[in-house]
Chains A and B, each alone.
Chain A
Amino acid sequence: MEMTNRKERNALVISIQGRMDAVTAPDFEKEVDRLLEKGETRFVVDLGGLDYISSAGLRSILSLAKKLKSNSGTLHLAALQAVVKEVFDISGFSSIIPIFDSVESACPDA
């Protein structure tokens, strides 16, 4: 799994490529902890390049959502592939974490 990040408008956009499973999810957690420590609070996770997610990945994303909620930050998810959206829908995550079709629509306005 590869991750890149950039600033876009007022958000920190993290783009994920590959698979988020029990092996790679901890890498995502380390990376977001690093960014949280730098003071980032508005996260957009671009999942356009993610073609697989398991409960380990969902847990990492929920963990980020909880951390951001406790410091009044925001988490938006963008560009989920159909197979990944299915897992979010089935597990009920689609109704608690905002999901957008594109990174652009996911980025909060000022």
Chain B
Amino acid sequence: MSHIRRPARLESLAPLMDFVEQCAQEHGFEGRRMNEIQLAAEEALVNIFNHAYPPEQIGDVHIHCSGGRDGSLLVEFRDTGVPFDFEDLKDPDLDASISGRKIGGLGVFLIKKMVDDLSYRRDGDENVLTFILHPSHSSVNR
């Protein structure tokens, strides 16, 4: 199991994404599935950067990455920011026109489409967001 810890700000996105890419590569992910993993990771990280901590008190984000059963990839994002309940968030209106379509709301929706299992829990003073990603493309939610 390997991990990385960085301050939860946009400047950290590149090294954090490189870490996820490398871990996914080590577990045999590539091509389209690799792209999907990176997208889900970016969306999770940007949400943490934007919402976990107040601007004057940026904390860290911690990613753990390991292989799960049946060749799947387990990615865990931890932060000590405000509690955050994924289940509360509404999906964007996919049928809205250009004028009606709101600018926000896409990040979590895309995560749900890209990962096979998504869970959130509170562990002491930490938010823990866990992705499970299967290698086979056909298991991606549509």
* B contacts with A: majority SS: helix
Closest to B38 in A: A52
- B92 proximal to A (CB < 8 A): yes
Given contacts A55-B43, A58-B106, contact A90 B101 (CB under 8 A): no
Is B35 touching A59 in the complex (CB atoms < 8 A)? no
Closest to B93 in A: A92
Tell me the minimal C-beta distance from A63 to chain B in angstroms: 7
Is B106 touching A59 in the complex (CB atoms < 8 A)? yes
Is A91 touching B94 in the complex (CB atoms < 8 A)? yes
- B6: chain A residues within 8 A (beta carbon): none
Closest to A93 in B: B101
- B39 proximal to A (CB < 8 A): yes
B: contact size bracket: 20 to 34
Which of B10, B14, B94, B101 is in CB contact (< 8 Å) with A62? B101
Given contacts A21-B42, A55-B106, A69-B99, contact A83 B35 (CB under 8 A): yes
Is A52 touching B39 in the complex (CB atoms < 8 A)? yes
- Most chain-A CB neighbours within 10 Å: which of B10, B13, B98, B113? B98
Is B13 touching A66 in the complex (CB atoms < 8 A)? no
Report the count of interface residues on A (CB-CB < 8 A): 25
- A110: chain B residues within 8 A (beta carbon): none
- A86 proximal to B (CB < 8 A): yes
Q: Can you give 6 A-B contacts (C-beta < 8 A)?
A: A55-B46, A55-B110, A83-B32, A83-B35, A90-B110, A92-B94
A-contacting residues of B (Cβ < 8 Å)?
A: 10, 13-14, 32, 35, 38-39, 42-43, 46, 49, 92, 94-99, 101, 103-104, 106-107, 109-110, 113, 142
